[in-house]
Amino acid sequence: MLLRERRHAACFLSDAAYQAQLLLRQHTFAWPSNTSGPMTDAKRPKQSSGQLTPTEIPKQVSKKISAQRRDQSSREQANLDQSRLELVEALRGKGIHDRRILDAIGRVRRDAFVPDELKEAAYHDIPLPIGQGQTISQPLVVAWMADAMELQPTDHVLDVGTGSGYAAAVMSLLCATVHSVERIPELAQRAKARLIAEGYENVSVRCGDGHQGWPEHAPFDGICIAAAGREIPAALRDQLVIGGRIIAPLGNDRSSQTLYRLTRTDEHQFKREKLGKVRFVPLIGAAGWDEGH
């Protein structure tokens, strides 16, 4: 990373020098040839229209470089926006047909939720590392889980395992509020900052134990668990409304799990449905695995 920054710095200085040389060649200065001694303001001739003083040249160079950077940034963002539209079409081709979900995927800038060095891969339908041994989920899986929750505009959702904040951003466009819990402080802080910067005002993030949910805001119409465990923690089941849905990857194998939908049918009963094979990072704790194992 340090080497990359040094290369960029070297390019920038070369650019500035080149621009300065061009400007010096393009603009002449009306200095008299018969002046002896220091030139006073009275002796200094007025410059003709279009001429630049030496002190103005760095400003002109800076303006040109800034404009070039803005143009490059605009082109890069346009390319990312096009990639986002292509991702939506790819998900449609993979079986996601709910227009609200496709619209949400199309509106959320996934490139804002990945490390800078991975921005070009942001709209590939793959999980990507985000640090701390965690990943941002594959867009298809995010869409799949949102679809399985059957979210309504008035719903209140609990998101267990904030990660980058991307899934919370997508769900926030489909429901009334999202309360998201992340156990790793660095990820929680980063996700919160990103969500605020991107304008997702109906998402709340806190650092804490996902097993405990967020009882102060319970009950929830939907609970999305983005980490794989052996079972669903009792505290999370208790925070679901009757008729509400929990989407969670479950299994005894850390390398492969099954995605389930649990619908609460009454105070003590849940209907369980298998949705398909997935692979998630592990849920740490009593309902999952010990950290580091």
As to burial, measured by CB atoms within 10 angstroms (0-12 exposed, 13-18 middle, 19+ buried), residue 43 is exposed
b/e map of 107-127 (b: 16 or more CB within 10 Å)? Answer: ebbbbbbbeeeebeebbbeeb
- Cα 122 from Cα 128, distance rounded (Å): 8
C-alpha dihedral, 167 to 168 to 172 to 178, nearest 10°: 150
Average pLDDT value for residue range 126-150:
96
pLDDT score, position 55: 63
Please state the φ and ψ torsions of residue 285, each to the nearest 5 degrees.
Answer: 135, -165
Q: Comparing 204 with 26, which gets the higher pLDDT?
A: 204
pLDDT at 16 over 60: no
- Of 18-27, 92-101, 184-193, 237-246, the range with the lowest mean pLDDT is 18-27
3-class secondary structure, 276? strand
pTM above 0.85, yes or no: no
Q: Which of 26-40, 144-158, 269-283 has maximum average pLDDT? A: 144-158
Q: Are 19 and 65 in contact (CB under 8 A)?
A: yes
125, pLDDT greater than 90: yes
Catalytic residue from among 66, 83, 137, 164: 137
What would the pLDDT profile of 192-208 be if each residue is shown by its tens digit? 999 999 999 999 999 99
Q: Is the dihedral of CA 148, 151, 155, 161 positive or negative?
A: positive
Residues 123 and 137: beta-carbon distance below 8 Å: no
Summarize pLDDT for 213-230 with one digit per residue, the tens: 999 999 999 999 999 999
Is 137 one of the catalytic residues?
A: yes
CA distances from 123 to 80, 140, 166, 193 (A): 8, 11, 12, 21
The full set of domains in the chain, from first to last, is 130-278 (3.40.50.150)
Q: Does a cis peptide bond (omega within 30 degrees of 0) precede residue 58?
A: no
pLDDT (average), residues 254-276: 93
Taking only the tens place, the pLDDT of each residue in 239-255 is 999 999 999 999 987 77
State the pLDDT at residue 289.
44
User: pLDDT tens across 76-105, in order?
Assistant: 878 999 999 999 999 999 999 999 999 999
User: Is the separation of the CB atoms in 226 and 280 below 8 Å?
Assistant: yes
